[in-house]
């Protein structure tokens, strides 16, 4: 294959210089040639004219002496011509062309015979002939002029009357042979050559000076600009172009400098955008990863280098975003970013990875300033309530920590483990930190599989609803059933809601699952109603995320209508904490549901910042006291006092009370004493499948005996491995 030859690169400056020199050379050569040509032909013609005149004059003056043969006069005539520099030799000839008198003015020069003039007519009187020749003896060039000596007097008639010259018949008496030397002509040509050479040299010198001047003024700045362009193409914008001229090039250079300046600004902006989060202005994932990688590399060389990574995810940010709007969500993120920065030193990096995820890189950690200390500080700072756009917000975060980042070789691995650990912190109840250990990794992998499986759980009919009876203390009979979802996993067995509902919430599968539970629970209760148990109310737990959709009441209305269940035989359970945190979001939907005569129950009351004050503004018809409070009532006077006052206050607000997690007779008796309306717990009934509930209902509400602890209800905690 022919290889294309690379073109030789000739710079503009070289082209410019070459062109200038070429123009100078051609101009000076042209001028010299023109001048030389004109001067030589002029001088040659002058010499020839001069020779012809001299020869003519000599022929006239020598007429008489040739006629008379006066040799003395001939000598005088010949010698008189010595003064003429151009005459090299002279010779008087008779008409037979024999030399009568001759004189050579150049030493050693032999006068050639007259026949050198080859052409022309020597016989014509008055006709002067000439010819240039090279003398074979001295090798020089000469012009030989032959002028005939004509006698008019010889023709005069004897009568003494002068004839008119016109009528006279001239007779040739002899010839004057004159040699003109071309030496002087050549001398002057040589002199001219020298002057032309000097003239051309001067011209070239001026030309070079001019080129240098132009180079300095034009090509040097152009070269600078071209170099600057090359550097820009390599991404170097930090350069100054100083052009000290005051012309178009300097305008061009300053425009170019301005362009570089703009490019530099754009480049910096671009760099900033590429490595920073546009909302919070914190470093983004790319910059974080770059710094992390550098630190890992540094740690490989320096064993003293110790660093940690914290992965932070805000708790319930989705809810805030959905309920209060994205603008408030954005403001919250900016606010959190500032708070995080305040918890760190200048040398640490806090980055936003997108959404509500942040990461922190702690360099040079020691006993005083380490990841645990920072995590605690962050959790403490976030705890403080603040107001945003008139909304009172309490933020919290789950933090995953990788303590010894220096043991990793890839930044992605550290982040993966920090992320897993953060997830663990979330699973442990949020608003806390967890520290990575290898076991978590295995657990996380397991969880990923679980997520994939959950996506198909409904279609594969793996979800089941268990029902736990709610018993009236006054009438000693079942008045309601709480729907509690379970997942019958083909490999892992029965999985309890706490182990997959958070996963469903995070992956938005909760909407589909929630809808399925309401649909099936209503249909099942309608079946029990049709069997004759028409006093049974079914309660369904709903996630706050289901309230993001304004059409929730409409969906429930449609299900109730389709199943034919009376609206007041259906109740929604919403945990207290989600109601308090998302008042704005839920209130409108609550009102809608109330209009549809659907009852609302506040679940897990007493677990968190409980305030009966909250109940006053919300349309709850029932309140369920959390198991954590019931657990202690028989042994802890404070707990029993709290439970009693909750019951009293709820009653004063015309709200019915359920106590959940009743496991002992003592607890039941105390609750009866406190005039609690209903109880629910393993003491009476475990959560059961629908068929078992039907059986219980048919037994005329006969309580299950001996179901006093979890094992009796067949409930094993989910470990992720079962």
DSSP H/E element including 181: strand 171-181
Out of 125, 170, 325, 497, point to the residue binding ligand C2E (CB under 6 A): 497
Nearer to ligand C2E, 663 or 677 (CB): 663
Residue range at the interface with ligand C2E (CB under 6 A); choices 69-77, 443-451, 473-481, 497-505:
497-505
| Rounded to 5°, angle at Cα 572 from 315 and 474 | 125
Nearer to ligand C2E, 311 or 718 (CB): 718
Q: Which does 682 bind (CB under 5 to 8 A by kind): Mg ion, ligand C2E, none?
A: ligand C2E
Partnered with residue 92 across adjacent β-strands are: 101, 176
Q: Which does 543 bind (CB under 5 to 8 A by kind): Mg ion, ligand C2E, none?
A: ligand C2E
Q: 422, 400 in Cβ contact below 8 A?
A: yes
Nearer to ligand C2E, 108 or 717 (CB): 717
Out of 498, 551, 588, 666, point to the residue binding ligand C2E (CB under 6 A): 498
* 348 makes contact with ligand C2E (CB under 6 A): no
Nearer to ligand C2E, 272 or 689 (CB): 689
Shortest CB 683 distance to Mg ion, Å: 16
Of 28, 25, 12, nearest to 215 by C-alpha is 12
Nearer to Mg ion, 453 or 604 (CB): 604
Shortest CB 492 distance to ligand C2E, Å: 15
Shortest CB 525 distance to Mg ion, Å: 16
**What residues between 590 and 619 interact with Mg ion by CB under 5 A?**
603-604
DSSP assignment of 642-673: HHHHHHHHHHHTT-EEEEE---SHHHHHHHHH
Q: 93, 58 in Cβ contact below 8 A?
A: no
How many residues contact ligand C2E, by CB under 6 A? Answer: 26
Nearer to ligand C2E, 141 or 430 (CB): 430
Residue 158 tokens read as 């004897």
x-marked contacts with ligand C2E along 574-613 as a string, rule CB under 6 A: -----------------------------xx---------
Shortest CB 541 distance to Mg ion, Å: 4
**What residues between 550 and 579 interact with Mg ion by CB under 5 A?**
573
Q: Which does 681 bind (CB under 5 to 8 A by kind): ligand C2E, Mg ion, none?
A: ligand C2E
Q: Which does 581 bind (CB under 5 to 8 A by kind): ligand C2E, Mg ion, none?
A: none
**What residues between 473 and 492 interact with ligand C2E by CB under 6 A?**
483-485
Torsions phi, psi for 696 (to 5 deg): -60, -45
| Rounded to 5°, angle at Cα 44 from 43 and 48 | 115
Of 81, 70, 59, nearest to 151 by C-alpha is 59
Shortest CB 329 distance to ligand C2E, Å: 23
Q: Residue holding tokens 């839920």? A: 586
Residue range at the interface with ligand C2E (CB under 6 A); choices 176-184, 355-363, 440-448, 678-686:
678-686
Q: 80, 90 in Cβ contact below 8 A?
A: no
- CA gap 359, 418 in Å, rounded: 9
Nearer to ligand C2E, 514 or 606 (CB): 514
**What residues between 154 and 183 interact with ligand C2E by CB under 6 A?**
none
Paired sense of beta strands 433-435 and 129-134, if any:
unpaired
- CA gap 307, 348 in Å, rounded: 10
Out of 86, 277, 406, 573, point to the residue binding ligand C2E (CB under 6 A): 573
Contacts of 623 (CB under 8 A, 6+ apart): 601, 602, 605, 615, 646, 650, 655, 656, 657, 658
Out of 543, 582, 667, 701, point to the residue binding ligand C2E (CB under 6 A): 543
Nearer to ligand C2E, 420 or 713 (CB): 713
Partnered with residue 313 across adjacent β-strands are: 357, 398
Contacts of 181 (CB under 8 A, 6+ apart): 86, 87, 88, 106, 140, 142
Q: 624, 660 in Cβ contact below 8 A?
A: yes
Q: 66, 160 in Cβ contact below 8 A?
A: no
Residue range at the interface with ligand C2E (CB under 6 A); choices 293-301, 410-418, 612-620, 679-687:
679-687
Shortest CB 479 distance to Mg ion, Å: 16
Distance between alpha carbon 247 and the CA centroid of its chain, in Å? 36
Shortest CB 661 distance to ligand C2E, Å: 4
Q: Which does 497 bind (CB under 5 to 8 A by kind): ligand C2E, Mg ion, none?
A: ligand C2E
Out of 307, 663, 679, 718, point to the residue binding ligand C2E (CB under 6 A): 663
DSSP assignment of 533-575: -TTPEEEEE--GGGGGSTTHHHHHHHHHHHHT--GGGEEEEEE
**What's the number of CA atoms in the CB half-sphere (13 Å) around residue 563?**
24
Contacts of 340 (CB under 8 A, 6+ apart): 312, 350, 358, 360, 378
Nearer to Mg ion, 378 or 518 (CB): 518
488: how many CB neighbours lie within 10 A of its CB?
A: 14
Out of 28, 682, 697, 718, point to the residue binding ligand C2E (CB under 6 A): 682
CA distances from 587 to 321, 581, 592 (A): 16, 11, 9
Nearer to Mg ion, 224 or 656 (CB): 656
Partnered with residue 311 across adjacent β-strands are: 359, 400
Shortest CB 393 distance to ligand C2E, Å: 23
* 542 makes contact with ligand C2E (CB under 6 A): yes
Residue range at the interface with ligand C2E (CB under 6 A); choices 297-305, 453-461, 535-543, 691-699:
535-543
Distance between alpha carbon 361 and the CA centroid of its chain, in Å? 25
Q: 567, 560 in Cβ contact below 8 A?
A: yes
Shortest CB 426 distance to Mg ion, Å: 20
- CA gap 400, 302 in Å, rounded: 26
How many residues contact Mg ion, by CB under 5 A? Answer: 4
x-marked contacts with ligand C2E along 433-472 as a string, rule CB under 6 A: -----------------------------------x----
Partnered with residue 103 across adjacent β-strands are: 90
Out of 280, 284, 541, 582, point to the residue binding ligand C2E (CB under 6 A): 541
**What residues between 614 and 633 interact with ligand C2E by CB under 6 A?**
627
Shortest CB 586 distance to Mg ion, Å: 16
* 319 makes contact with ligand C2E (CB under 6 A): no
Judged by the rule CB under 6 A, the positions of this chain that interact with ligand C2E are: 468, 483-485, 496-498, 501, 514, 517, 541-543, 573, 603-604, 627, 660-663, 680-682, 687, 710
Judged by the rule CB under 5 A, the positions of this chain that interact with Mg ion are: 541, 573, 603-604
């Amino acid at each position: 294959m022919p290889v294309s030859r690379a073109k030789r690169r000739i710079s503009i400056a070289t082209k410019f210089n070459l062109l200038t020199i070429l123009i100078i050379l051609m101009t000076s050569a042209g001028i010299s040639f023109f001048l030389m040509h004109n001067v030589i032909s002029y001088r040659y013609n002058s010499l020839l004219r001069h020779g012809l005149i001299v020869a003519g004059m000599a022929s006239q003056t020598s007429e008489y002496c040739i006629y008379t043969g006066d040799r003395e006069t001939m000598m005088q005539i010949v010698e008189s011509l010595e003064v003429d520099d151009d005459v090299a030799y002279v010779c008087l000839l008779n008409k037979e062309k024999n030399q009568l008198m001759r004189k050579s003015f150049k030493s050693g020069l032999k006068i050639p015979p007259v026949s050198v003039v080859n052409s022309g007519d020597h016989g014509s009187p008055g006709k002067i002939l000439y010819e240039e020749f090279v003398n074979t003896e001295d090798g020089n060039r000469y012009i030989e002029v032959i002028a005939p000596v004509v006698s008019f007097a010889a023709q005069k008639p004897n009568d003494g009357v002068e004839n008119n010259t016109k009528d006279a018949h001239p007779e040739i008496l002899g010839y004057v042979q004159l040699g003109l030397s071309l030496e002087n002509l050549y001398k002057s040509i040589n002199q001219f050559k020298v002057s032309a050479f000097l003239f051309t040299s001067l011209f070239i010198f001026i030309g070079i000076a001019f080129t240098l001047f132009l180079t300095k003024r034009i090509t040097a700045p152009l070269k600078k600009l071209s170099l600057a362009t090359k550097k820009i193409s390599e991404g170097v914008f930090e350069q100054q172009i100083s052009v000290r001229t005051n012309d178009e090039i300097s305008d061009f250079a300053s425009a170019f400098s301005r362009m570089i300046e703009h490019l530099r600004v754009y480049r910096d902006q671009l760099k900033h955008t590429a490595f920073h989060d546009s909302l919070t202005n914190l470093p983004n994932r790319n910059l974080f990863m770059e710094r992390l990688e550098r630190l890992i590399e540094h740690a490989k060389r320096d064993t003293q280098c110790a660093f940690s990574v914290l992965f932070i995810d805000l708790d319930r940010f989705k809810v805030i975003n959905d309920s209060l709007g994205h603008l408030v969500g954005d403001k919250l993120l900016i606010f959190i970013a500032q708070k995080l920065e305040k918890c760190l030193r200048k040398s640490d990096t806090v980055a936003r990875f997108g959404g509500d995820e942040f990461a922190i890189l702690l360099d040079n950690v020691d006993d005083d300033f380490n990841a645990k200390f920072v995590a605690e500080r962050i959790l403490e700072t976030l705890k403080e309530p603040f107001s945003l756009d008139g909304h009172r917000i309490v933020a919290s975060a789950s933090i995953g920590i990788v303590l010894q980042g220096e043991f990793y070789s890839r930044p992605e691995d550290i982040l993966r483990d920090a992320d897993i650990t953060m997830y663990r912190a979330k699973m442990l109840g949020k608003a806390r930190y967890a520290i990575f250990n290898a076991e978590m990794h295995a657990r996380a992998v397991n969880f990923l599989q679980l997520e994939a499986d959950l996506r198909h759980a409904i279609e594969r009919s793996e979800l089941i609803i268990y029902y736990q009876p709610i018993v009236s203390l006054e009438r000693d009979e079942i008045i309601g059933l709480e729907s509690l979802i379970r997942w019958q996993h083909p490999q892992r067995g029965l999985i309890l809601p706490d182990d997959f509902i958070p996963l469903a919430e995070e992956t938005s599968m909760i909407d589909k699952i929630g809808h399925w539970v309401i649909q099936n629970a209503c249909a099942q209760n309608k079946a029990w109603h049709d069997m004759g148990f028409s006093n049974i109310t079914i309660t369904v737990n709903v996630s706050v995320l289901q309230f993001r959709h304004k059409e929730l009441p409409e969906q429930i209305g449609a299900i109730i209508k389709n199943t034919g269940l009376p609206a007041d035989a259906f109740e929604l359970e919403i945990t207290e904490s989600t109601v308090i945190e998302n008042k704005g979001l839920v209130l409108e939907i609550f009102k809608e549901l109330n209009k549809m005569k659907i009852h609302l129950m506040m679940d897990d009351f007493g677990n968190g910042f409980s305030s009966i004050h909250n109940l006053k503004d919300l349309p709850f018809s029932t309140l369920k006291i959390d198991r954590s409070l019931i657990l202690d009532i028989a042994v802890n006077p404070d707990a029993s006092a709290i439970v009693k006052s909750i019951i009293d206050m709820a009653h004063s607000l015309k709200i019915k009370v359920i106590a959940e997690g009743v496991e002992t007779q003592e607890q039941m008796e105390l609750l009866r004493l406190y005039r609690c309306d209903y109880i629910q717990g393993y003491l009476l009934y475990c959560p059961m499948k629908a068929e078992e509930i039907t059986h219980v209902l048919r037994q005329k509400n006969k309580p299950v005996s001996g179901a006093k602890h979890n094992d009796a209800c067949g409930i094993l905690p989910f470990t992720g491995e079962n």
